[in-house]
Structure 1
C-alpha cells in the first residue's frame, strides 16, 4: 500500500522545505513516497538555502521569491516564472529550464554550469560573476542583463539576444555565438576561439576584448568599437563587414556592409508554451 501525497507550492514552501518539526504518525505497511514534483504559486516565498536538487516544477510561480544559495542542481523547471526572484549564489548546475522567465531576477554568482536554458528570458537579470560554462542557451534573451565577469566558456548561444547587455570582462572563450545580437558593453571580454558567424555587433563596445582565434565569418561590425581589441587579424576581418562608424585597431580594415551579404543566422528555438499553473504530483 502506498501513501499518495499532493502538495501545492504554498504548502511546499512552509512544509516540505522547512526543517522537520514534527513526525508523521507511524503506520505499519505504509510507504511514504518522496515528493519531487510541484506546481502552483509561491510568489514572494522565502526559500533561501533549501535543498531541492532533482525536483520537477511545472507552471510554478516564484516571482519575487528568495532562493539565495538554494540547491537546485538538476532541477527541471517547465513554464515557470522567476521574475524579480533572488537566486544569488544558488546552484543550478545541470538544471533544465524550458520556457522560463527570469526577467529582472538576481542570479549574481549563481552556479549554472551546463544548464539547459534554450529560449529563456533573462531580460534585465543580474548575472554578474555567474558560472554558465557549457550552458545551452540558444535563442535566450539577455537584453539589458548584467553579465559582468560572467563565465560562459564553451556556452552555446546561437541566436541569443544581448542588446544593451553589460558583459564587461566576461568570458565567451570557445562559445558559439553564431547569429547572436550583441550591443552594449563587452569591453575587455574574452572571445578566444569563439564562433561568431553572422553575429551582429550593432554599435557595441568591444574595446580591449580578445578575439584570438575567433571566427568572424559573416559578422556585422557596423558601429562597433573594437579599439585596442586583441588577436584581430586581416584574415578574420576578411569575412566580416564594417561601416564608417566602426572603430578597428590601427592597421586593420573590413569591407563595407553596403556590399556585404552575411549568411543567414540560425533561427533560435521556440520556447515551449507554459503548461497549467497548478500541477500536483503523486
Structure 2
C-alpha cells in the first residue's frame, strides 16, 4: 500500500504512532520502510528500523537508543542531538546526514557509508566504526575515547580538537586528515596510512605509530612523549617544535624530515644514520652523542581537500514523501 502524504503533520503523526506502538509493547516497525518529514524528540528507543529509508527527515533530539538501524538509509536527514547510544547502524548509508551533538556512545557503525557526514561534537565513545567509509567526514570536537576505527577510511576527515584517547585506529586510511589539537593519548595507529595528515599541537603521549606511513605529514609542536614510531615512515615529514621525550624511534625513516626546534634529547632507539638524512637547526635537541646537520628544508604544502556536506534541508511542507508498507 502506498499512502501519499499531503501534510507534513501527517508524517509527525506517523512518528507518534511509532512511539505509541512501544507503549503497546510492539517493538517491530518494519512495516514502514520509507518516510520523511519531522519527528523531533520522538520516542523510538529499541525499535526495529532495519532497512528503513529516511529521506530529508528531521529527527533532532529523538530517542533511538538501542534501535536496530542496520542497512538503513539516512539521506539528507537531521539527527542532531539525537540519542543513538548502543544503536546498531551497521552497513547503513548516511549521505548528507547531520549528527552534530548526537549521542552515539557504544553504537555499532561497522562498514557504514558516512562520507562527508557531520559528527561535530558528537559522543562516539566506545563506538565501533570498523571498516567505515567516512572520507571527508567531520568529527571536530567529537568525543571518541576508546572508539574502534580499525581499517576505516577517513581520508580528508576533520578530527580537530577531537578526543581520540585509547582509540583503535590500526590500518586506518587517513591520508590528508586533520588531527590538529586532538587528544591521541594511548591511541593505536599501527599500520595506518597517514600521508599528508596534520597532527599540529596534538597530545599523543604513549600513542602507537609503529609501521605507519607518515610521509609528508605535519607533526608540528605536538607532544609525543613515550609514543612509539618503530619502523614508521617519516620521510619529508614536518616535526618542527615537537617533543619526543621517551619516544621509541627505532627503525623510523627520517630522510628529508624537518627537525627544526624538535626535542629528541630523550628519544630512544635513534641512530646517527637516521639523523644524517634529516634537517635540523641550532634549536634541535638530540640524544647525547648524536648530532644533526643544520640545513634548510623545502616546504611542501599539503592542501587538505575536506568535503564539507551541506546542512540537511528542513523537511518541506508540501506533499512530497511517501510511506510504503511491506
TM range, smaller chain: 0.7 to 0.9
Structure 1 stretches lacking a partner, 5+ long? 23-33
CA contact (8 A) 2:190 2:212 kept: yes
Match of residue 191 from structure 1 = 229
Structure 2 stretches lacking a partner, 5+ long? 3-30, 50-69, 316-320
Match of residue 62 from structure 1 = 99
Match of residue 263 from structure 2 = 225
SS at match of 2:200: strand
CA contact (8 A) 1:70 1:90 kept: yes
TM-score by length of 1: 0.86
Tell me if 1:274 matches 2:309.
yes
2:74 is aligned, of 29, 38, 42, to 38
Instruction: Measure the CA separation in 2 of the matches of 1:100 and 1:10.
Output: 24
Tell me if 1:181 matches 2:218.
yes
Match of residue 7 from structure 1 = 35
- How many residues align? The count is 267
- Measured against aligned partners, the alpha-carbon deviations of 1:218-248 in whole angstroms (never above 9, x if no partner) come to 1011111111211111111111011111111
Q: Runs ≥4 in structure 1, deviation > 6 angstroms?
A: 1-4, 279-282
SS at match of 2:274: helix
CA spacing shift, 1:81–1:250, aligned 2, 3 Å: same
Tell me if 1:238 matches 2:273.
no
Match of residue 14 from structure 2 = none
CA contact (8 A) 1:188 1:207 kept: yes
CA spacing shift, 1:60–1:12, aligned 2, 3 Å: farther
Structure number with higher strand proportion: 1
Give the deviation of 1:83 after TM superposition: 0.8
CA spacing shift, 1:137–1:125, aligned 2, 3 Å: same
Match of residue 249 from structure 2 = 211
Give the deviation of 1:5 after TM superposition: 3.3
Tell me if 1:120 matches 2:174.
no
- Measured against aligned partners, the alpha-carbon deviations of 1:138-196 in whole angstroms (never above 9, x if no partner) come to 00000000000000000010011111100000000000001111022111100000000
CA spacing shift, 1:78–1:21, aligned 2, 3 Å: closer
SS at match of 2:134: strand
1:141 is aligned, of 173, 178, 189, to 178
Highest CA radius of gyration, 1 or 2? 2
CA contact (8 A) 2:133 2:152 kept: yes
CA contact (8 A) 2:134 2:157 kept: yes
Give the deviation of 1:48 after TM superposition: 0.2
Give the deviation of 1:20 after TM superposition: 3.6
Instruction: Measure the CA separation in 1 of the matches of 2:37 and 2:288.
Output: 58
Q: How does 1:38-187 map to 2 (within 5 A)?
A: 38-39=74-75, 40-182=77-219, 183-187=221-225
SS at match of 2:114: strand
